[in-house]
Amino acid sequence: MIDRLTLAIVVQSLALLWIGPACEASSLGLTVHAVPLQSDGGQSVRAHFTVIASNPCPPLTGLCTEGVNCTLHKAYFPFSGIKPDSGWCVRQWEQVVPSHYNSTISLNSRTTFHILMKAGPDARANNGKFNHPAYVALPPPIRARENCPHHIQLSVKDLDGDKVRCRFAMEEQGECLDCTPHSFIELYKDACMLTFTGNAPVGQYSIYLMAEDYIPTPKAGQVRESQPISSVPVQLSLSVEQSYSSCTDEPVATGKTPKEHTTFHVLPFEEVKFEAEFISRKEGVSEIAVVGQPGLIKYGFASTGALSQLSMSWVRGENTLTHLFPICFVANSMSLQSEPRCVWLYQREVRILPHGTELICNKTAMTLVLPLGSLSNINLTELQLNSPTCPVTFNDTHLTAHVALEGCGTKTVHAGRELVFTNTLKSVRPYSMITRQPSLILPLACRIPAVQARGPNFNVTVPVTVFFNSDVRLEFHLPGEGPFAEYTYHPQFSPIGLMPGPMRRDSAPVRHIRALQGGPGSRIKELDLHLLSNTTLERAELSVKRCVESASENFAESLIIMENGCTAFNTTKEIRATSNARIFRLDVTNLVENTMYAECEVDLCIPFLPSQTCVTQCNKGLVNRAATIMLSKTFTVRSGPVSLVATTPVPSTSVVTGAAGQNEGPATAPTVEAVTITSSAPEQTSFMAVGITFNIICLYVIIRESFFIFVEK
Ligand SMILES: *[C@@H]1O[C@H](CO)[C@@H](O)[C@H](O)[C@H]1NC(C)=O
Ligand SMILES: *[C@@H]1O[C@H](CO)[C@@H](O)[C@H](O)[C@H]1NC(C)=O
Ligand SMILES: *[C@@H]1O[C@H](CO)[C@@H](O)[C@H](O)[C@H]1NC(C)=O
Ligand SMILES: *[C@@H]1O[C@H](CO)[C@@H](O)[C@H](O)[C@H]1NC(C)=O
Ligand SMILES: *[C@@H]1O[C@H](CO)[C@@H](O)[C@H](O)[C@H]1NC(C)=O
Ligand SMILES: *[C@@H]1O[C@H](CO)[C@@H](O)[C@H](O)[C@H]1NC(C)=O
Ligand SMILES: *[C@@H]1O[C@H](CO)[C@@H](O)[C@H](O)[C@H]1NC(C)=O
Ligand SMILES: *[C@@H]1O[C@H](CO)[C@@H](O)[C@H](O)[C@H]1NC(C)=O
């Protein structure tokens, strides 16, 4: 009896699940931004898909074979949200598809999209180029409340300046399946604005639209009669929830938030930052949900009392994204949602520089030489760098500028795995001056690749395990030796702060005095401590928490060498290397033992912002550091025995051939035994043992790629 009753309830709830609107949407949104390919006569487009799927977040595997015609954006933090229901995530990919495209795309059995797109080819009469279909910004899943009418304004743009209208997708045209428009949704086609009347039962609904572009006509009203140039699908979701409070209590964006439809123009390697801020008087905001584009960084979410905020940043590195792309966000509280707000980023188009242009980067400066022939009509006296104090000179044929990397207003950004120094040469006019002369904007960039080993692998979705495949090693090498000889032979030192007063020593304690002798058997004066990581994650940095040295293997008595970014000895210097290596030059003349051991605690971390660092800096508050770290994992690494006595050369070990900054005697160069040690293999005993191959890193010039010109009329 009980069994039957239970069964009946199960069947009933199953039936509810099947007939209720809730089962309709595990696909919570879709947009396609199509870019016509000139190369094959517009028969194909590069389609940039953005979809929202309900959790668990489906993988991108099996969509297409990655290559020139397909890019899967495997973000390790896909955009995601917790409202409504069990939450959702954003999946994005780019694929070359026919411009007339009719297909069903399945991410998994629950997330299936039907797509019918007519995207050309249509050559435009005014410039002969292929038409760009409209771009619609995809908002996070929309939430509304029973009996609370609500407007939903879509943000749409058209690169050709066409008029964009939206209409419901038509089932009879094959534009969607099973998609009769809901009676409680009204659509103002010309404005792409939806109105929810409020008269709907609680549940989740899909809205299928087509966005179409029309040649703008002088007379409004004529649009209706003409044919659209292209049609692209847009799918939205609306979840209708129960209403517990008045219809006007939603969170509202403050003036700090960029206005709806704002467009930011971005130069190569430029960083765009903005903040979303909301006031919510009724309920605290639990999330500011974002649907953006790959590479967008969100950080600093805070919700205190009625105020909530989130910062966002994007650095334009090399990318395959569309010239124009949207970022939409909403504030969600327990039962309320703000209006969605969308902003757009426009990647300014750049021209390849004229033949004969040169940009040379060295360790301290970039030097630009630009032939003037190509710059007719540009008023050269108006040209300035970021800082007007750095001179730009020109003669009859060439313009020359010397731009200091530390000065001249040069900025530093992280773009992907590169550190990029940027400056801009541009026309600057007095405000009062109105002129029809074109102006010049010339972004300059010197790029330092981080580890060039191989591309990042973002195949990891769980934040705490992003460093699962990473390791940290500790190695000792003589100055100018080892895998980083490039850096340690002619070292560039970075400043490193001293530990506060009482903890510091000006030299290591002398346990007993040793006579120092030259030649074989002599003491080593300086040693380079290398802390190396093999992470392939973008923007990972190495932060040294603490290093100690001891005469014994069990570290019974140990001496702090470094702590919290500070050094204990004023003789310790840091050598600039790569983001995957921290190298410290230690003066070991005062260590009495013949053999030492070292142990370090090191953090691998990723900063929130591309232009921030999560490396602990001496005497900078820890609070500050906590606010900058997105992810971190601590490693403890120990060396094996390190001999501090130089011995006669042995053929099988390497030989120091004159370390920089040392007064080596001309006689016999010392060698060192038992030095390269990692935490996992303390028995390894050779200077030569190098586990990871790091490429040579230097400031270098990539004329064709690092260098763009943009002439504004
Ligand atoms: C990429 O797509 C273009 C246009 O459809 C086609 O011509 C080309 O062969 C494709 N390339 C690859 C590697 O699939
Ligand atoms: C789209 O493809 C499906 C399946 O191949 C087909 O049945 C349908 O007629 C096509 N629709 C259009 C508009 O071409
Ligand atoms: C780098 O270039 C600048 C400007 O041309 C020059 O003044 C400086 O001496 C160069 N530095 C090095 C280390 O070559
Ligand atoms: C060039 O710019 C300067 C500064 O704005 C101005 O004084 C000068 O008249 C301009 N020259 C020409 C030829 O327009
Ligand atoms: C102008 O400057 C360029 C670059 O410094 C130089 O190569 C060229 O010889 C100079 N021309 C004249 C006429 O001085
Ligand atoms: C990516 O993840 C999938 C699923 O977890 C796994 O099968 C695949 O081997 C991974 N790829 C790489 C390159 O690690
Ligand atoms: C880093 O080194 C560890 C230990 O040697 C190894 O297991 C891991 O696969 C390496 N990771 C990468 C990304 O090479
Ligand atoms: C380190 O400190 C000692 C004592 O204060 C001082 O004599 C010495 O010059 C300092 N060394 C350096 C490299 O600053």
268: three-class secondary structure by DSSP? coil
Q: Does residue 459 line the site of ligand 6, with CB under 6 A?
A: yes
Residue pair 405/446 in contact by the 8 Å Cβ criterion: yes
Per residue in 24-67, pLDDT (tens digit) is 456 899 999 999 998 888 899 999 999 999 988 898 888 888 88
Q: Does residue 536 line the site of ligand 7, with CB under 6 A?
A: yes
Is pLDDT of 519 > 50? no
Nearest atom of ligand 1 to the alpha carbon of 68:
13
Most ligand 7 atoms within 8 A of CB, residue of 76, 471, 475, 633 to mutate = 471
Ligand 8 site residues, Cβ closer than 6 angstroms: 506, 570-571
d(CA 132, CA 235): 19
pLDDT at 291: 97
SS3 sequence of 225-255 = HCCCCEEEEEEEEEEEECCCCCCCCCCEECC
Query: Dihedral of the CA atoms 682, 683, 685, 689 (nearest 10)?
Result: -70
pLDDT at 704: 25
Per residue in 4-15, pLDDT (tens digit) is 433 333 333 333
Cα–Cα nearest to 479, from 588, 621, 346: 588
Confidence category of residue 147, pLDDT binned at 50, 70, 90 = very high
Per residue in 261-296, pLDDT (tens digit) is 999 998 877 888 899 999 999 999 999 999 999 888
pLDDT at 11: 35
Whole-number Å distance, alpha carbon 658 to ligand 8 midpoint, is: 25
The contacts of residue 448 (CB under 8 Å, 6+ apart) are 418, 419, 420, 421, 697, 698, 699, 700
pLDDT at 685: 21
The contacts of residue 532 (CB under 8 Å, 6+ apart) are 472, 473, 474, 475, 580, 581, 692
pLDDT at 627: 56
Is pLDDT of 597 > 70? yes
389-423 core/surface letters (b: 16 or more CB in 10 A; e: else): ebebeeeeebbebebbbeebbbeebbbbbbbbbbb
Q: Name the more confident of 445 and 602.
A: 602
Is pLDDT of 483 > 80? yes
Per residue in 440-465, pLDDT (tens digit) is 788 888 776 543 222 222 222 222 34
Residue pair 119/34 in contact by the 8 Å Cβ criterion: yes
Q: Name the more confident of 311 and 681.
A: 311
Q: Does residue 104 line the site of ligand 2, with CB under 6 A?
A: no
pLDDT at 650: 30
Whole-number Å distance, alpha carbon 350 to ligand 4 midpoint, is: 25
pLDDT at 219: 63
Tokens at 76, concatenated? 């390790």
Nearest atom of ligand 2 to the alpha carbon of 173:
13
Confidence category of residue 434, pLDDT binned at 50, 70, 90 = low
Please compute the mean of the pLDDT values over residues 624-631 and round it to a whole number.
59
Per residue in 635-678, pLDDT (tens digit) is 888 888 888 887 643 322 222 222 222 222 222 222 222 222 22
Mean pLDDT of the chain: 77
633-648 core/surface letters (b: 16 or more CB in 10 A; e: else): bebebbbbbbbbbbee
Tokens at 338, concatenated? 């703000």
Q: Does residue 397 line the site of ligand 5, with CB under 6 A?
A: yes
Most ligand 4 atoms within 8 A of CB, residue of 375, 378, 379 to mutate = 379
Domain residue spans in the chain? 23-347, 357-465+702-712, 472-686
pLDDT at 333: 93
pLDDT at 158: 95
Is pLDDT of 482 > 90? no
pLDDT at 392: 92
In terms of DSSP H, where are the helices of 274-402?
Answer: none
Whole-number Å distance, alpha carbon 484 to ligand 7 midpoint, is: 19
pLDDT at 299: 78
pLDDT at 227: 87
Confidence category of residue 353, pLDDT binned at 50, 70, 90 = low
Per residue in 364-408, pLDDT (tens digit) is 788 888 888 877 778 888 899 999 999 899 999 999 999 887 788
Q: List, in sequence order, every beta strand (DSSP E) within 592-691.
A: 595-607, 629-638, 642-643
Residue pair 582/488 in contact by the 8 Å Cβ criterion: no
Confidence category of residue 437, pLDDT binned at 50, 70, 90 = low
pLDDT at 435: 61
pLDDT at 18: 34
Nearest atom of ligand 3 to the alpha carbon of 363:
13
Least confident of 113-117, 593-597, 665-669: 665-669
pTM of the model: 0.64
pLDDT at 100: 94
Please compute the mean of the pLDDT values over residues 250-258 and round it to a whole number.
95
Nearest atom of ligand 7 to the alpha carbon of 692:
14
pLDDT at 359: 80
Q: Does residue 469 line the site of ligand 7, with CB under 6 A?
A: yes
Q: Does residue 115 line the site of ligand 2, with CB under 6 A?
A: no
Nearest atom of ligand 4 to the alpha carbon of 380:
1
Atom 2 (ligand 8): residue with closest C-alpha? 506
Q: Name the more confident of 132 and 522.
A: 132
Nearest atom of ligand 6 to the alpha carbon of 74:
1
Residue pair 660/644 in contact by the 8 Å Cβ criterion: no
Least confident of 346-350, 507-511, 675-679: 675-679
Is pLDDT of 601 > 60? yes
Per residue in 202-240, pLDDT (tens digit) is 999 999 999 999 988 766 555 455 789 999 999 999 999
Is pLDDT of 349 > 60? yes
Atom 11 (ligand 1): residue with closest C-alpha? 69
Most ligand 3 atoms within 8 A of CB, residue of 362, 369, 393, 444 to mutate = 362
- Specify the fold of 357-465+702-712: Immunoglobulin-like (2.60.40)
| Secondary structure tally for the chain: helices H, strands E | 3, 44
Between the CA of residue 250 and those of 36, 192, 280, 284, what are the distances in Å? 40, 22, 7, 10
